[in-house]
Structure 1
């Protein structure tokens, strides 16, 4: 290989490395991941090995300057902390200053914080799923206005198990902000999808997130699933009402967190698993982050008392979305 070819190959390798780095920053930025989880060491090495202006420009174009950030931005505080850390790492490298990054920080310093932010997750297709959620973990008396890890885990599992959703009618219990269902609707080709919850603010947020992702509820024969958002009171709902959903698949994520609602949840699942006349029972999957082993053990115990068999199934093999994987997340398949 002659010298020009070697130079060209090295240039291509640097460009590929830079693209991979900026893509990693983009995925973490729009999902509002902890800043400590960003590949800062890779950035520092890249600033030493390549043009710092090119590296930072690529990252800015895929984060704060990306059209998605203009339309559906992460929180003001998060963008401010992100840009401050980016400047800190850049200055530590003794590279030439880049006015663009300072201008970006100046713009966000003057912005007013809002109670709602956006988190966006990149699908394998290259499209984003965006969720509007509360900045605070607990807001308006509920934890259902934010996205939890089990929803992301279940969404990744769905991407690897399309047969559980494709062409099927899907009912989701406790949809919360709606991330898992949005991914299923956008990538798994269900025939019908029903988001459900009972808290008024959560239902309002669900309606908004469905519209935000181009899945406005409709019942016409347009391409894509027929989508609806339904109020579902676990205590009051009847077996007849549940059968009206004609669900082939039922999913839920992070609904096992409070011992006071475990019995109510199990009673609901028992109704769902009552096979309709001349029909088949739906496939039921419940994804849970095991924060409190006693609460999770109670859930399994109550399932057994209700004669509901359960089996832990393998989780997703491929990491698609950036989220904390240090906690135990388990998916149970339930049987009547």
Structure 2
């Protein structure tokens, strides 16, 4: 986890946070304090010119839009524009677009922003495309942010958590960083997703324990985030071998986010969940956006036919992460009868 330093004046902190969250520039509330050249310089120093941004490749097109909107606002209030703003825009204008960018996820209690001087931040490398290399697992989805928000407010002390379909790793990194869980196991099966997942977990770790270069090995990385041990493993629901539960070890909870969109994977997913529940796991917590009502209905029916119990948990709102609330999002608890 990285530390994001905020400004010396609380008035611009919301703008700094909005920049790192990639809030739509038309929705950013610009502050009159930006009329000051010194405040403009500080805002740039904490955003597009900050060390974190210069070291991490983040969306150049967004940075350009941010500066263009800022310049437009300054023009509307007849403010003098500091030369550092023009220099930053010129640098970004000549920048080359890339297939992958680092995305920042500041995590804090949203209603306490005014009292903060710095913010814990997860930085993930993600694709710019929703579908890349035949998978949707190379970007962060809203359900993983909702799952993280739910988990941060839940008692997870000394728990070992296994996540199915971890994608780029946001939920697990948030949970391992901000809850007292004991161990978090990230899993996926697509080779490109696993490679990116390993990169993200590794670069947000405080300590590296095992770093296997062979992606064919089931356990390809382990380390620690604060006091939580983390692992990245290959786990293919369609090819579960006998004894995998013993290899992974005791698991208290299963987490999964946005993994039910493909009906062909419902049975492999449910079989995986049931296998761990039969081996002592207490429950599976699954978060998903309802994009297709029929897909959700079919998934619930398949759970019932496998003699699994479903409990709908309380709907969460953005509290620690600023994610756009979709029309319908569910978080369910699955247990064995």
TM > 0.5: yes
For the pair 1:136 / 2:111, whether they are aligned, the reply is no
For the pair 1:117 / 2:101, whether they are aligned, the reply is yes
Q: Which of 136, 141, 144 does residue 148 from structure 1 map onto? A: 141
Q: Which residue of 1 aligns with 2:80?
A: 96
Report the 3-state secondary structure (helix = DSSP H, G, I; strand = E; otherwise coil) of the residue aligned with 1:332. Answer: strand
- State the alpha-carbon separation in 2 of the partners of residues 57 and 81 from structure 1: 18
Q: Which residue of 1 aligns with 2:231?
A: 228
Superposed CA deviations along residues 250-306 of structure 1, whole A, max 9, x for unmatched, are 1011111122222222222222221x3xxx433310010111111111111111111
Superposed CA deviations along residues 55-96 of structure 1, whole A, max 9, x for unmatched, are 433432321122221222421112112211211222122111
Q: Which residue of 1 aligns with 2:115?
A: none
- State the alpha-carbon separation in 2 of the partners of residues 174 and 257 from structure 1: 12
Report the 3-state secondary structure (helix = DSSP H, G, I; strand = E; otherwise coil) of the residue aligned with 2:237. Answer: coil
For the pair 1:168 / 2:171, whether they are aligned, the reply is no
Q: Which residue of 2 aligns with 1:182?
A: 173
Q: Which residue of 2 aligns with 1:3?
A: none
Q: Which residue of 2 aligns with 1:248?
A: 252
Distance 1:318 1:201, change over 3 A: closer
Distance 1:123 1:266, change over 3 A: same
The more displaced of 62-71 and 150-159 is 62-71
Determine if contact 2:286/2:332 at 8 Å carries over to the other structure: yes
The more displaced of 194-203 and 260-269 is 260-269
Superposed CA deviations along residues 156-212 of structure 1, whole A, max 9, x for unmatched, are 111111x23x21211110000000001111111322211100000000001100111
- The offset of 1:318, in angstroms, is 5.5
Determine if contact 2:289/2:326 at 8 Å carries over to the other structure: no
Q: Which residue of 2 aligns with 1:4?
A: none
Determine if contact 1:28/1:322 at 8 Å carries over to the other structure: no
For the pair 1:30 / 2:20, whether they are aligned, the reply is yes
For the pair 1:75 / 2:59, whether they are aligned, the reply is yes
Q: Which residue of 1 aligns with 2:297?
A: 297
Q: Which residue of 1 aligns with 2:267?
A: 263
Q: Which residue of 2 aligns with 1:204?
A: 195
Distance 1:84 1:149, change over 3 A: same
Determine if contact 1:25/1:38 at 8 Å carries over to the other structure: yes
The more displaced of 221-230 and 285-294 is 221-230
Unaligned runs of 5+ in 1: 1-15
Determine if contact 2:161/2:251 at 8 Å carries over to the other structure: yes
Structure 1 segments, 4+ long, off by >4 Å, are 219-223
Q: Greater helix percent: which structure? A: 1
Report the 3-state secondary structure (helix = DSSP H, G, I; strand = E; otherwise coil) of the residue aligned with 2:322. Answer: coil
The more displaced of 24-33 and 139-148 is 24-33
Output the TM-score relative to the length of structure 2. Answer: 0.84
Report the 3-state secondary structure (helix = DSSP H, G, I; strand = E; otherwise coil) of the residue aligned with 2:227. Answer: coil
Determine if contact 1:33/1:322 at 8 Å carries over to the other structure: no
Larger radius of gyration: 1
User: RMSD in angstroms over aligned alpha carbons?
Assistant: 2.4
- The offset of 1:317, in angstroms, is 5.2
Unaligned runs of 5+ in 2: 1-5, 109-117, 211-221
Distance 1:183 1:17, change over 3 A: closer
Determine if contact 1:197/1:233 at 8 Å carries over to the other structure: yes
Determine if contact 1:172/1:251 at 8 Å carries over to the other structure: yes
Distance 1:288 1:21, change over 3 A: farther
